[in-house]
Amino acid sequence: MVQTGPITENAVVIVFGASGDLAKKSTFPALYTLWEEGLLPEKTRIIGYARSKLSEEKLDEQLFWKIRDDAEQGHRKEDPEKMKTFEGLVKYVQGAYDKDEAFEGLEKEIQIIEKDVFSGQKSNRISYLALPPSSFAQVSAMIKKHNYNPNQINRLVIEKPFGKDTEDCKKMMDSIAKDWEEEEVYRIDHYLGEEMIREIYHLRFANSFVEPLLSNKHVEAVSVVMKETFGAEGRGGYFDEFGMIRDVGQNHLLQAIAIMMMDAPTSLADDSLRSNKVNLLQAIPPVDPANLVLGQYAGAESGPREDGTGKAYLEDETVPDGSKTATFAQWAMQVDNERWKGVPVLVKCGKALDKGLMEMTFHLRPPPSNIFDVPKHSNSLVIRMNPEPAVFFKANMLKPGCRGTETTEEEIKWTVPGRKVAGDKLAYEVVLANIFKGDQSLFVREDEVIAAWEIFTPLLQHIEAPDGPAPTLYPYGSAGPKEQYEMEENFGLMSTRGS
**Closest-CA residue to 203 (of 153, 260, 274):** 260
Name all contacts of 238-243 with Cβ < 8 Å and 24+ positions apart. Answer: 239/319, 239/325, 239/327, 240/318, 240/319, 240/320, 240/323, 240/325, 242/161, 242/164, 243/325, 243/326, 243/329, 243/460, 243/463
Whether 363 is catalytic is no
CB 147 within 8 A of CB 127: yes
Q: Is 243 left (phi over 0), alpha (psi -120 to 50) or beta?
A: left
Helix (H) or strand (E) holding 330: strand 328-334
Beta bridge pairs of residue 185: 156
CB 19 within 8 A of CB 54: yes
Please tell me which residue in 190, 252, 363, 377 is annotated as part of the active site.
Answer: 252
Q: Give every CB contact of residue 447 below 8 A, 6+ residues apart in sequence.
A: 278
The alpha carbons of the chain give a radius of gyration, in whole angstroms, of 24
CB 258 within 8 A of CB 280: yes
Residues identified as active-site = 252
